[in-house]
Structure 1
Amino acid sequence: MSDRPACYEELEEPQKRGQVTEAILQAAFVVRDVPVLVPTYDNEPYDLVIEVGGRFHRIQCKTAYRKSDGTVAFETVSTRRRRDGYDRRGYDDRAEYFAVYDPINDNRYLIPVSEAATGKMEIRFREPKNGQRVGINWDEEYLLEERLETLQNPAQFSGN
């Protein structure tokens, strides 16, 4: 079995890491029998479109990075260089979900854009040393498999 975190570290170019992340996330949907559409051009604000329960959902793929002991983070904005500086834009109304690959723990997450923090979102996979429980984005809340179940069976999870 390969050591995925080490392989990611060896990829020095951010573009290559992004391509690997997209491939891993696309495969995560495909092996769960979720149809995946890929835009023809690379200038869309989303990387993939999935079809679940007869509905299409635009997906922005992100790679998580180690933030601190027990957490990973990912950027919730796109940053583009312009002649006059940088343009930072969020994904509201441009994608419905972030699909996030965490190469540190080999986890895949599916996070609604509407629930993501502005700028950067942290996901905690280990209990904090100070015992804090409030205001934490726990990894088990966003695991891709569980989130897909809620998309496939919304009535089951809404209490209906």
Structure 2
Amino acid sequence: MADQVMALSALQPKIPNNPAWRPMAYESNTGYPAVAFYHKALGLYVISGLEVPEAEIGPEYHISISKSGRNGPRRCSAAEAAMVLKQFDAEGATEDNHSSVIRSFWLPVNESLIGHECDCKDEEAAIKEGDFEWRPLTQGNADRAKRMREQSEADNG
């Protein structure tokens, strides 16, 4: 695990290749690096981070996308998400959502693991809304995340 932590310090979140994206202030509460961008013309907000949600996969790029709305954030379309992934050089990322609004994409740093699906997809009930699928946060999911966090802390401790 120490090797993963050292590798994370050398890796940085993905940044857009389009100058229309403007950096925004963002403070990550995960302990991993993350940056935020806003595209004014499209009303899209992106948080680009680097995390280790599953030890067996190692570090993954995490791209979260939402759209500005009059009454707060709303979900972007699948086409908008595809455009964001292309501009953040994250094509091939796997969508795994735990919010009804934010589209979350995961891309392993280890390219041989691209396309790997999280075990949660088989274990959690999914809600499908058109081209969007998400899994609500349940106590079981929260307990699983806590166990993973505790294991990670023990491995680094």
Q: What is the TM-score normalised by the length of structure 1?
A: 0.31
Q: What is the TM-score normalised by the length of structure 2?
A: 0.31
Structure whose residues are more often strand by fraction = 1
